[in-house]
């Protein structure tokens, strides 16, 4: 049988299927790179890690923040799913896991906005986190009033920033304790 040769110099164009796969690969790569290098990591590093060209990255995420937002989006979705399934302390455990693992979570919820599309979207995501938690929040809970809930999250986030992975988890635990809040096991949500 003859060997079919791939025409040289013409990169494969996989069509729609590949496009979706690329998007996922980019988000996954971004999650890793952000964790390793922080949110300021060069976009080229993400594209490289994802195994795609820079152009693809721009096609899927035209603004720099879109990339980070996409990672955050996934995190938020997990928190929402957890809120469907487990009581408050469990949800907080999942949330805490994301706080300690994912640079995107902290960095973006914190982002002092110049505004812009993705800043607005970060606020949307922030609202989704709040709603997800609040449905599990019993009346009269310590954090039930005003924006105490989101503030507490920001505080835990503040407690963990700047430390290495192991230390982050320890600090998160202490921080919640100082807030007088019970937190379940710190781990990702698995349906």
Partner DNA sequence: AATGAATGAGAGTTCATTCAT
Partner DNA sequence: GATGAATGAACTCTCATTCAT
Residues near a second copy (CB under 8 A) = 1-2, 37-38, 40-42, 64, 106-107, 109-113, 142-143, 146-148, 151-152, 154-159, 161-164, 167, 171, 174-175, 178-180
Q: What phi-psi label fits residue 9: left (phi over 0), alpha (psi between -120 and 50 degrees) or beta?
A: left
How far is the C-alpha of 75 from the C-alpha of 72, rounded, in Å?
A: 5
Query: Mask: binding to DNA, 70-89, rule CB under 7 A, as x and -?
Result: --------------------
Find the shortest distance in angstroms from Cβ 150 to a second copy: 9
Piece in contact with DNA (CB under 7 A), picked from 50-58, 105-113, 152-160, 165-173: 50-58
Residue of 24, 36, 38, 42 interacting with DNA (CB under 7 A): 42
First-residue to last-residue Cα distance in the chain: 47
- Check: CB of residue 52 under 8 Å from CB of residue 11: no
In 3D space, the residue among 120, 169, 129 whose CA is nearest the CA of residue 153 turns out to be 129
Q: Please pick, from the candidates 27, 33, 56, 72, the single residue that binds DNA as defined by CB under 7 A.
A: 56
């Amino acid at each position: 049988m003859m060997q079919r040769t791939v025409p040289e110099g013409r990169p494969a164009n996989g069509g729609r299927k590949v496009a979706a796969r690329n998007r996922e690969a980019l988000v996954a790569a971004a999650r890793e790179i952000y964790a390793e290098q922080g949110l300021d990591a060069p976009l080229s590093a993400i594209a490289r890690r994802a195994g795609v060209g820079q152009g693809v990255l721009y096609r899927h995420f035209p603004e720099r923040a879109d990339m980070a937002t996409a990672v955050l989006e996934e995190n938020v979705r997990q928190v929402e799913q957890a809120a469907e399934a487990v009581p408050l302390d469990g949800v907080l455990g999942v949330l805490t896991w994301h706080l300690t693992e994912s640079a995107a979570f902290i960095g973006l919820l914190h982002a002092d906005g110049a505004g812009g599309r993705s800043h607005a979207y970060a606020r949307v995501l922030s609202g989704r986190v709040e709603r997800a938690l609040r449905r599990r929040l019993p009346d009269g809970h310590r954090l039930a009033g005003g924006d105490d809930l989101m503030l507490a999250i920001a505080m835990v986030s503040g407690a963990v920033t700047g430390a290495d992975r192991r230390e982050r988890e320890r600090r998160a635990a202490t921080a919640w304790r100082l807030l007088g809040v019970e937190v379940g096991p710190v781990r990702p949500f698995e349906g």
